[in-house]
Amino acid sequence: MNIRSKIIGTGSYLPSRTVFNKDLEDLLNTTDEWIQQRTGITKRHWASKDETTSDLALRASERALESSSLKKEDIDLLLVATVTPDHEFPGTACFLQGKMGIPGVPAIDVRQQCGGFIFALSIADQYIRTGTYKNILIVCSELHSRCLDLTPRGRNLSVIFGDGAGAVVLQATEVKDRESESHILSTKIHSDGAQAKELWCPGPGLALFGEERMTKEMINDGLQYPQMNGRAIFSHAVRTMSESLIESLTSNGKELKDLELAFFHQANRRISEAIGKNLELDDSLIHSTVEIYGNTTSATIPIGLDDAIRNGKLKQGMLISNVAFGSGFTWGHSLIRY
């Protein structure tokens, strides 16, 4: 039997508060013009004080389940990707599971930052191909707004991130015709831990070698905030996502001309534009949401998929490539006949 995974539902949730670039000007000593020119971002969403990462995840999960026509009880594996967990432990998947009310189902956190969706999809796909699980819920949820340095010190990073969640429901399917039937053709994931500190959040952390994981001095030094070598990340992102897109096609005997839509991790519109230019892709092939949602880390691709489906841009039977790059470094692809 040729068992493969297919996407049977998607959902997303963006918190109701919209934060425009203008709203950040005084706070971060930045300008709307700088943010738009360097990133393409015009606005992003921020969660309210009483929302958590697992709350955003719950809303996106409910919408994905509704569009799949499955009940929550049908789910037999729950994977949650986040870089902004509710707590240090247990994982956010456990908190989401408690809120969903599906005890007994394995709930696993995937800690692969912007690569989180591709890594989670890859894990889920292996479980489905081996026949271990039939219906898997993947949720990517990020609440950056309460984790950022919202002072001029953090402006390079704080202007690009937004809050939001995206979810997909995968189901096992027997594929007879690989050219026409909906399924995931392949996933491939990569990491390079030697570059871990190019984009990272040092604290709280045992490897800071203080008497505790977090001290007042560490807080004064801002070690609880993410730190990024923006220019290095930018060039790695362009190179690895270009290579991953080509890898997604060639490893399946396909060419660029076969591609019908591409979803890049949405960190900065200039990154997507540079990939498009490298590969001579028509703009219409790249689905972009960074302008209105900012960088929602692991959630950017599932939010983009849901957006494209609900807007009628992504239709059944289309060949799509998803590629991501992020902290770790982690990167990879999935090629899908939607």
| CA dist 177 → 174, 253, 288, 335, 338 (Å) | 9, 15, 30, 16, 13
Residue 82 sits in the site that holds ligand UT7 (CB under 6 A): no
Residue 269 sits in the site that holds ligand UT7 (CB under 6 A): no
Residue 99 sits in the site that holds ligand UT7 (CB under 6 A): no
- Nearest distance in Å: CB 15, ligand UT7: 19
Residues 116 and 298: beta-carbon distance below 8 Å: yes
What is the spatial distance between Cα 148 and Cα 128, in angstroms, rounded to a whole number?
37
Site residues for ligand UT7, 139-168, by CB under 6 A, read 155-156, 159-160
- Of 32-40, 44-52, 72-80, 189-197, which part binds ligand UT7 (CB under 6 A)? 32-40
Using the rule CB under 6 A, which residue among 26, 231, 253, 283 binds ligand UT7? 231
Write the DSSP string, 196-252. GGGEE---S-GGG-SSSSS-HHHHHTTTTS-EE-HHHHHHHHHHHHHHHHHHHHHTT
Options 45, 183, 265, 333, the catalytic residue = 265
Radius of gyration of the chain (CA): 19
Residue 222 sits in the site that holds ligand UT7 (CB under 6 A): no
| Residue whose beta carbon is closest to ligand UT7 | 230
Residue 121 sits in the site that holds ligand UT7 (CB under 6 A): no
Tokens of 3: 């068992």
The DSSP symbol for 286 reads: B
Match 């841009």 to its residue by tokens. 313
- Nearest distance in Å: CB 157, ligand UT7: 6
- Nearest distance in Å: CB 135, ligand UT7: 30
Using the rule CB under 6 A, which residue among 249, 267, 314, 335 binds ligand UT7? 267
The DSSP symbol for 161 reads: B
- Of 9-17, 61-69, 175-183, 264-272, which part binds ligand UT7 (CB under 6 A)? 264-272
- Nearest distance in Å: CB 211, ligand UT7: 32
Count other Cβ atoms within 10 Å, centred on residue 318: 15
- Nearest distance in Å: CB 213, ligand UT7: 24
Exposed (0-12), middle (13-18) or buried (19+): which is 250, by Cβ within 10 Å? exposed
Q: Mind telling me the catalytic residues?
A: 114, 265, 295
Chain residues binding ligand UT7 by CB under 6 A are: 28, 30, 34, 38-39, 114, 155-156, 159-160, 230-231, 233-234, 237, 267-268, 271, 295, 297, 326
